[in-house]
Structure 1
């Protein structure tokens, strides 16, 4: 592993008066997060995807689209999700939601998932980028380097935060795609997209890095 940026953490208390919605599927993993005191500290309102109506996200400053929900059900509300960033808010899309099918300008490429690279001693090829970005005041290598389910690409001038560094045709390493990025250029607000699925693993009590990522993500979007 070649990432060496220092471990940094912020202990700032959650901001008040900024409405946060977490859209969930009602899965056991998502429901686990609705009872987690560390999540509840950010005073989120939990919105059940199947009950989401037109205008149901109006007024929220930040909307987190939970991971591993039915892509077709998520896509039905694409315009509503996109409008969060269009009006200047923050939209966070977690992994395994078919985001490339309903957010414009995104391409997706699947990758096999290696859950046990740290046991076998393999290099997971996961690298962090843009280390001067504000997100690294909250994220750490341990919170983002566990495993992933695919790569994202876009022609927009987004900020890559976690990528896969793979050999090119010339044998030299190159960034093959992104696992986490922030987009502040295509809308008046910001869109944070990842192929990581932290709520699923946090609620499954499997993959401690996922819990670190979920908590760090909440601190990041709350403090910025």
Structure 2
């Protein structure tokens, strides 16, 4: 599959933006480590906003050779960028906006424009209004690229695309800094731009992240009940997903389990016994393995777990489970009453646990404003976002939910598919939205 790399000089905003959009990328590269990478393996290389130029310029030869050999280099708001590039001729100008507070004033105006005659795929995805906040310098109009955004009453450009260069390479360059503002969590237009930019670059490269590679789920058999150890209907729900489910005992857990993409722990298990697998399970998740836990925690046998707490059973509506957040489409096929087994509330869950650091609550239980999480998602923290995710369900075995409707008994399947589809996504920022 075609791949995208993201180069950072380690600033907070660059890293947060990477974590926000890691599901669109394949490799985080620390600028100092560029010589350790063969850039030819990547169909696009992104230099994030306001990278320290003294850390990028030493890699000038490598980056220009990448373009000469057919690579696609995208550069955002890099000081001295004209000193970096020799594969294209471009002249940087210390150009500044007339009034950077224009957007706070009635009838305020910014002197940027999109050329009237432009016909470019960029604008099939990007709205021009999301290109307007301010800029950091510009490029003289004596280049032979395509200007996508210019400055009024000048010949200067703020976005230039050099397509079909000799050798098949391409350079997209801008003095806008959307990654910086997105990472700093202000300037809504800048944040919206990235939501449009990454789908555009994927379209340019012909990358479809919705394709899911075949995957294997290990279902651990934790009880002496056949109906729990091997639900007769579960395997059928995975048909057509590319997923395959296999059943394994836990005394001991066989070596083959650790090679599976997802481990499913159905509950009614031995909390004391599972403590002996704590280190092995955490190593599995650290290395990208995905874990689904059905567990009312009595012993915190994994270090991020918290003790189970019940909600008051009266009023009875406290036992209603509500979907609050679904960034990975786990609950997309679930009806509002999915949590009632045979129509009875309290079967799916009767309580919650406190969220570990950086976890995202997915469902709530209890009083409507309590926001106690019956289900949450947590990810093993790694710099490049490659750590595996853990879905925690505080309640009964999920394989039987919902017990009605078009997607009967498909919740576990949908969670597995979501984990694989969004394997590159990073949990702490997975639910970030830009308010209108």
TM-score (norm 1): 0.81
Deviation of the 1:95 alpha carbon? 0.6
Partner residue of 1:176?
A: 155
The answer on 1:119 being equivalent to 2:99 is no
CA contact (8 A) 1:86 1:189 kept: yes
Q: Distance in 2 between matches of 1:30 and 1:24?
A: 6
Structure with bigger RCO (C-alpha 8 Å, 6+ apart): 1
Cα shift readout 1:25-70 (whole Å, capped 9, x = no counterpart): 111101112321xx12213311011222154423111000111111
In the alignment of these two chains, the number of paired residues is: 198
Question: Which of the residues 10, 13, 31 maps onto 1:26?
Answer: 10
The alpha-carbon distance between structure 1 residues 215 and 44, as it changes in their structure 2 partners (threshold 3 A), is: farther
Query: Structure 2: how far apart are the matches of 1:101 and 1:154?
Result: 17
Structure 2's unaligned 5+ residue stretches are 205-436
Which consecutive segments of 4 or more residues in structure 1 shift more than 4 A?
none
Q: SS of the residue aligned with 1:75?
A: helix
In structure 2, C-alpha distance between the alignment counterparts of 1:178 and 1:57, rounded to whole Å: 28
Alpha-carbon RMSD: 1.8
Aligned partners of 2:143, 2:164: CA distance in 1, in Å? 7
Distance in 2 separating the partners of 1:176 and 1:159 = 13
Check if 1:48 corresponds to 2:30. Answer: yes
CA contact 2:6–2:25 (8 Å) conserved in 1 = no
Q: Which residue of 2 aligns with 1:169?
A: none
Measure how far apart 1:85 and its partner are. Answer: 2.0
> Gapped runs of 5+ residues in structure 1?
1-16, 167-174
Q: For the Cα contact (< 8 Å) 1:156–1:186, is it kept in 2?
A: no
How far apart in 2 are the matches of 1:158 and 1:57? 23
Shift of residue 111 of structure 1?
Answer: 2.1
In 2, are the aligned partners of 1:19 and 1:44 still within 8 Å (CA)?
yes
Structure index of larger Rg: 2
SS class of match (1:52)? helix
Match of 1:128 among 74, 90, 114: 114
